[in-house]
């Protein structure tokens, strides 16, 4: 059997693990990588090699910033004769026209246990809502409704008490590689109709977070405050208005049983009865928007 001509639509981060899984799979011939334009966005919020650099080292063509809605992009993708398209944290919705191109379909890697937490930043909302586990879902993209197609395979991971958005994303990144590798053979073997559809009655959506979501407000319960800090670390960073200045919180620790605590340079102490949160902070010069 000839190797399956495959295109990866992805961004640095989860896209790296998809790239590794595809290039290491004995049935896959990765012929191209489509990714977003290069910029200074801190995504994926942990240190890793850029996806375009990984592809270039392997001699795989990289195409940056193509608009999937343009006819010329459709024609270009069609000319590559892909039999499978894999999507991983891409910044555009895959059009119905492109979905029809590959013989084996278009599959997506999503960092949640679908149908829960469809949409953007699912790790943020899993943390904010106090979920005990999350995971990776590999599913078909069957139309332009995001994250809604038939489930191919899912892997679960426990959310640890110390997890931040950054550490949770990284652990899901690692999990996604093995999950995608296991999903490829079933995709190539079985008819799409044999995979279970998602239960729409259980579907939830995570909206795009805003700067307002990252703000600690007066009177916020300490437990909720700690949860918010975890969910907004390392980016954009939970922030607090103190003495007329905004501060980004770098870390937080809970102190119990103390009758008094004092602020020190670079720290803010917040009290609720005999509980204190010690915040390590840095000044925010510009109240910026989130990418």
Distance CA 159, CA 171 (A): 10
pLDDT, residue 260, reads 54
Residue where a domain terminates, one of 206, 223, 253: 206
* Same-domain pairing of 185 and 120: yes
* Cβ atoms within 10 Å, residue 58: 13
Structure tokens, 86: 């894999």
Q: Which of 21-30, 215-224, 234-243, 281-290 has the lowest mean pLDDT?
A: 281-290
Residue where a domain terminates, one of 206, 232, 267: 206
For 200, phi and psi rounded to 5 degrees? -65, -25
Longest dimension (CA), the chain: 72
Q: Tell whether 66 is covered by a domain.
A: yes
Return the SS3 of 126. helix
**β-pair type (215-216, 205-206):** unpaired
Structure tokens, 223: 């437990």
For 268, phi and psi rounded to 5 degrees? -130, 130
Residue range(s) defining the domain that contains residue 234: 211-283
For 149, phi and psi rounded to 5 degrees? -80, 175
Q: Check residue 202 and report its DSSP letter.
A: G
What separation, in Å, do the N-terminal and C-terminal C-alpha atoms of the chain show? 43
pLDDT digit string, tens, across residues 209-257: 899 999 998 788 888 988 999 999 998 999 988 888 888 888 777 776 5
Does residue 133 come out as left (phi exceeding 0), alpha (psi in the -120 to 50 range) or beta? beta
CATH code at position 139: 3.40.50.170
Q: What percent of the chain has pLDDT over 70?
A: 90
* Same-domain pairing of 119 and 202: yes
């Amino acid at each position: 059997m000839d190797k399956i001509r495959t295109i990866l639509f992805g961004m640095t981060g989860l896209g790296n693990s998809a790239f590794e899984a595809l290039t290491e799979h004995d049935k896959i011939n990765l012929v191209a990588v489509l990714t977003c334009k290069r910029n200074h966005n801190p995504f994926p919020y942990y240190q890793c090699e850029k996806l375009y650099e990984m592809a270039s080292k392997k001699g795989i063509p990289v195409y940056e910033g193509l608009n999937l809605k343009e006819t010329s992009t459709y024609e270009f993708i069609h000319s590559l004769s892909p039999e499978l398209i894999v999507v991983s944290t891409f910044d555009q919705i895959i059009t119905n026209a492109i979905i029809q191109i590959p013989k084996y379909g278009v599959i997506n890697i999503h960092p949640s246990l679908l149908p829960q937490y469809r949409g953007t930043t699912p790790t943020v909302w899993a943390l904010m809502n106090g979920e005990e586990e999350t995971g990776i879902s590999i599913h078909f993209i069957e139309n332009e409704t995001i994250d809604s197609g038939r489930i191919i395979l899912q892997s679960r991971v426990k959310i640890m008490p110390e997890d931040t958005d950054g550490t949770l994303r990284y652990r899901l990144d690692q999990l996604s590689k093995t999950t995608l590798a296991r999903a490829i053979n079933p995709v190539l073997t079985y008819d799409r109709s044999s995979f279970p559809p998602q239960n729409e009655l259980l579907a939830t959506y995570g909206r795009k977070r805003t700067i307002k979501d990252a703000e600690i407000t007066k009177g916020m319960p300490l437990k909720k405050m700690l949860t918010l800090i975890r969910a907004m670390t390392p980016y954009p960073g939970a922030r607090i208005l103190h003495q007329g200045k905004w501060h980004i919180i770098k870390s937080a620790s809970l102190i119990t049983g103390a009758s008094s605590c004092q602020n020190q340079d670079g720290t803010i102490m917040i009290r609720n009865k005999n509980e204190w949160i010690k915040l390590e902070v840095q000044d925010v010069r510009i109240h910026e928007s989130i990418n």
